[in-house]
Amino acid sequence: MQVLVTGGAGFIGSNLAEGFLDAGHRVVVLDNLDPYYDLGIKEHNLEVCHEAGDDHFEFVEGSTTDEELVDEVVASNDVDVIFHQASKAGVRTSVEHPKAYNESNIDGIVTVLEAAADHGVDRVVNASSSSVYGVPEYLPYDEDHPNHPKSPYAVTKLAAEHYCNVYDDLRDLSTVNLRYFTVYGPRMRPNMAISNFVSRCLNGEPPIIYGDGEQTRDFTFIDDVVEANRTLLETSDADGESMNVGSNDNISIRELAEYIVAETGADVDIVHEEAKDADARHTHADVSKAGELIDYEPTTDIREGVSKFIDWYEANREWYEPLVRNS
């Protein structure tokens, strides 16, 4: 199939692109190489895709807000399915720069949907987020939970979902929204709890927890996210749906830090600093809907996944660590 992955130089997008290439599909990545973190990581991600795909892989540098470019990429490549991963990331940063997030994340999805509808794309799979739920009225979150986004980032993710639903209804374009719950794993971006904790512990520095550490997260291993997206190349059962993609488990940030300290053998004490604005207190996914529609079943729990990430980090430390520490 002809697959377009927007934001395909990033962590999740590059893992999707690599997986599709390994399965024999032709993949085009569109990415503006936003320097939100050290671009060396994104450049490495693209090298991995080139190695996986050879002449079945193409990289186009540019933004999803560039209407002419997006239209040309979709039309000239006869794209079958678009996996829209491109968006400006970061809950905390969005509080400081809401207009930038609005432009990137909302204008971007509309441009992609327009091009998809105009050129007969079979499906757009949109990367949404657990942040659309906001403060939990109950846990685990199911898809019927009220949406009360608490940051500009979360607002843009919810708006993108609504745009997908509108295009599904009005333009006869199949769309699916996947609500990711804190994705982690090899090549993950540096400014996240797991990558920060592991990097600091391996360098004899204490992990820093913002707040009391009793906040909990549903962490999702990247391989499970790739499998959920891969399934949507084939099944038609999910048309017009939004669904959670999580681990069906959660862990407190304090427990996570303690586990990483133990696994790395670091002789350090955990440090606490003031909590950050807009951070969610708890997340926990009910993934039964994804199980019913796309046979989604998470395979990696947080402790197993963290151990895998530590092993990968140590094996790739020479190139990865300087970029993490520089971000």
Shortest CA distance to 33 belongs to which of 6, 51, 70?
6
* Mean pLDDT, the chain, whole residue set: 95
Q: Output the pLDDT for position 154.
A: 96
pLDDT in tens, 177-200: 999 999 999 999 988 999 999 999
Residue 1 pLDDT more than 70? yes
Residue 202 pLDDT more than 80? yes
pLDDT in tens, 107-146: 999 999 999 999 999 999 999 999 999 999 999 999 999 9
Domain-located, residue 23? yes
- Inter-residue contact 179 to 128 (CB < 8 Å): yes
- 153 in catalytic set: yes
Domain-located, residue 11? yes
Confidence label for 269 from pLDDT (cuts 50, 70 and 90): very high
Cβ-based neighbours of 21, under 8 Å, separated by 6 or more: 27, 49, 52, 53, 56, 57
pLDDT in tens, 168-179: 999 999 999 999
Residue 242 pLDDT more than 90? yes
Domain-located, residue 269? no
CA distances 187 to 39, 79, 143, 273, 317, Å, are: 12, 27, 29, 26, 11
Catalytic residue among 133, 153, 167, 320: 153
In DSSP notation, 166-233 reads HHHHHS--EEEEEEE--EESTT--SSSHHHHHHHHHHTT---EEESSS--EE--EEHHHHHHHHHHTT
Total domains present in the chain: 1
Asked if the peptide bond before residue 140 counts as cis, ω within 30 degrees of 0, the response is: yes
**Distance in angstroms (rounded) separating the CA atoms of residues 265 and 204:** 9
Q: Is 166 left (phi over 0), alpha (psi -120 to 50) or beta?
A: alpha
Amino acid in position 56: H
**Distance in angstroms (rounded) separating the CA atoms of residues 26 and 195:** 31
pLDDT in tens, 292-302: 999 999 999 99
Residue 223 pLDDT more than 90? yes
Domain-located, residue 201? no
- Inter-residue contact 84 to 6 (CB < 8 Å): yes
Mean pLDDT confidence for 265-269: 97
Domain-located, residue 139? yes
Q: Output the pLDDT for position 278.
A: 67
pLDDT in tens, 15-52: 999 999 999 999 999 999 999 888 999 999 999 999 99
Three-state SS at 3: strand
Amino acid in position 251: I
Domain-located, residue 309? no
Share of the chain above pLDDT 70, in %: 99
Residue 276 pLDDT more than 90? no
Q: Output the pLDDT for position 30.
A: 98
Q: What is the CATH number of the domain that holds 64?
A: 3.40.50.720
Q: Output the pLDDT for position 237.
A: 82
Residue 53 pLDDT more than 90? no
Q: Output the pLDDT for position 249.
A: 87
Range of the domain at 233: 2-180+222-245+286-299
Confidence label for 281 from pLDDT (cuts 50, 70 and 90): confident
Confidence label for 161 from pLDDT (cuts 50, 70 and 90): very high
Domain-located, residue 60? yes
**Distance in angstroms (rounded) separating the CA atoms of residues 202 and 268:** 10
Pairing state between β 2-6 and 251-252:
unpaired
Domain-located, residue 57? yes
Mean pLDDT confidence for 94-100: 95
